[in-house]
């Protein structure tokens, strides 16, 4: 599957730094709470699979897919490090959100689209595909930037949190430098960050795809830089 090489360059530093960010962990906790008790959860644009383990704590089966081979390889490796019984409940597929992989044939109980929508060519194509794959009562959870992100501010505020918790050390600095260098291409070069949404505007857009019941919609993720929306079909 064709891929945007910026994501391959991003994979290592993403995997190293992002799970340490308090704002990322808070986003994950919110997203996971929305899918508690659901049988099958699709993690669309699963990246390096950072959501797999938390999702397995609340759902029976996780299907992650991503178009980028480097991200996906890390996701598969993360899955393979889980105990066998847990690993057997996770699939990692090649695919993109505009057209889900053929292996996702049945309607699913929940779909995550976390920090993916900003990068797709046409959000409406992706939202229509998500709506098509949700069973009635199924949930779609979306997060992403409300405006061009200020990553330096996210890092600064994260450092304050790490220092307050007494967990900040030199390994953070190295991971931060690598991540900011890799992220620069995505944030600064044109063509990667294409779409920004205020939560209310995204809710309206979702309504047009038949996803009308709003479970949550706020602009609080990532220190107020990102939207967090959950809708039910
Ligand atoms: C910022 S990462 C987020 C990864 C993961 N959702 C998370 O929250 O950790 C964005 C991911 O979206 C993937 N992506 C980009 N375009 C996509 C598309 N059209 N369909 C599905 N995934 C896509 C990238 O390959 C990358 O892994």
Q: What is the mean pLDDT of the chain?
A: 93
- Find out whether the beta carbon of 96 lies less than 6 Å from any atom of ligand 1: yes
Q: What is the pLDDT of residues 118-129, one digit of tens each?
A: 989 999 999 999
**5-232 to CATH, choices 3.40.50.970, 1.10.1280.10, 3.40.50.150, 3.30.70.20:** 3.40.50.150
Kindly report the pTM of this predicted structure. 0.95
Q: What is the pLDDT of residues 80-111, one digit of tens each?
A: 999 999 999 999 999 999 999 999 999 999 99
Residue located via tokens 């967090």: 228
- Find out whether the beta carbon of 27 lies less than 6 Å from any atom of ligand 1: no
**Domain range annotation of the chain:** 5-232
Quote the ligand 1 centre to 47 CA distance (angstroms).
5
What Cα–Cα distance (Å) separates residue 97 from each residue in 19, 20, 43, 65, 119? 23, 26, 10, 8, 11
- Find out whether the beta carbon of 45 lies less than 6 Å from any atom of ligand 1: yes
Q: Are 228 and 199 in contact (CB under 8 A)?
A: yes
Question: Which of 42, 51, 67 has most ligand 1 atoms within 8 Å of CB, for mutation?
Answer: 67
Which residues have a Cβ under 8 Å from the Cβ of 101 and sit 6 or more positions away? 65, 93, 94, 95
pLDDT > 60? residue 1: no
Quote the ligand 1 centre to 134 CA distance (angstroms).
19
What Cα–Cα distance (Å) separates residue 179 from each residue in 11, 18, 23, 162, 203? 9, 9, 16, 17, 31
Cα(161)–Cα(174) distance, integer angstroms? 17
Q: Are 111 and 30 in contact (CB under 8 A)?
A: no
Question: Which of 93, 222, 73 shows the shortest CA–CA distance to 155?
Answer: 222
- Find out whether the beta carbon of 31 lies less than 6 Å from any atom of ligand 1: no
Average pLDDT over residues 197-209: 98
pLDDT band, very low/low/confident/very high, at 174 (cuts 50, 70, 90) = confident
Nearest CA to ligand 1 atom 4: 47
- Find out whether the beta carbon of 50 lies less than 6 Å from any atom of ligand 1: yes
């Amino acid at each position: 599957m064709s891929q945007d090489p910026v994501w391959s360059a991003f994979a290592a530093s993403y995997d190293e730094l992002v799970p340490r960010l308090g704002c990322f962990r808070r986003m994950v906790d919110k997203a996971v709470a929305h899918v508690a008790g659901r049988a099958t959860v699709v993690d669309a644009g699963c990246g390096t699979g950072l959501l797999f383990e938390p999702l397995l704590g609340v759902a029976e089966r996780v299907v992650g897919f991503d178009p980028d081979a480097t991200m996906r390889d890390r996701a598969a490796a993360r899955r393979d490090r889980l105990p066998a019984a847990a690993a057997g409940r996770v699939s990692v597929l090649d695919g993109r959100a505009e057209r889900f992989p053929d292996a996702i044939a049945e309607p699913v109980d929940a779909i995550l689209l976390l920090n993916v929508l900003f990068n797709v060519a046409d959000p409406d194509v992706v939202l229509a595909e998500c709506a098509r794959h949700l069973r009635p009562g199924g949930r779609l959870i979306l997060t992403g930037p409300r405006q061009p992100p200020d990553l330096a501010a996210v890092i600064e505020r994260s450092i304050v949190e790490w220092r307050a918790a007494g967990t900040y050390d030199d390994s953070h600095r190295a991971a931060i430098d690598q991540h900011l260098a890799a992220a620069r291409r995505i944030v600064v070069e044109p063509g990667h960050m294409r779409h920004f949404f205020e939560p209310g505007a995204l809710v309206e857009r979702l309504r047009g795809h038949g996803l009308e019941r709003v479970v949550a919609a706020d602009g609080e993720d990532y220190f107020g830089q990102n939207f967090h929306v959950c809708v039910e079909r």
